Amino acid sequence: MMFAGIDVVPGREGGTWFGMSSKSAKIGALLNILQPDFDRNKRPRGHLVPNYLTTEQNADAYIKTLVQQKDQFNPFNLVLLEQRFVQLLDFAYHTDIY
């Protein structure tokens, strides 16, 4: 079961910025990095958290998938937690995985 707020803004339905899954013992939080050059043509980021919470991938595999798609999104920080792993991804300035 996933516990999260749900975005209802047209075009962004179903996204969220924070959520947790009791089934997979995962937590995800998405933090925007506001910049003057925000590109409205890039993909919305709100589905990153629910996709992580419902995927079978662990945080490391999910981050590796996102790194390949990083140019499709505006900058953001994504914090992923799971039962035995903590991962932080910062797409604002670099793509190093901590």
Local confidence pLDDT in tens for the 98 residues of the chain:
777 777 777 777 778 889 888 878 899 999 877 777 888 899 888 899 999 999 999 999 999 999 999 889 988 899 998 876 555 555 554 444 44
Q: Is residue 96 part of a domain?
A: no
Q: Is residue 21 part of a domain?
A: yes
> What is the span of the domain harbouring residue 83?
2-90
pTM (two decimals):
0.76
Q: Is residue 42 part of a domain?
A: yes
Q: Is residue 97 part of a domain?
A: no
Q: Is residue 86 part of a domain?
A: yes
User: How many domains in the chain?
Assistant: 1
Which of 30, 53, 54 shows the shortest CA–CA distance to 43? 30
State residue 50's pLDDT score. Answer: 92
State residue 85's pLDDT score. Answer: 56
Q: Is residue 62 part of a domain?
A: yes
CA separation for the pair 75, 54 (Å, rounded): 23
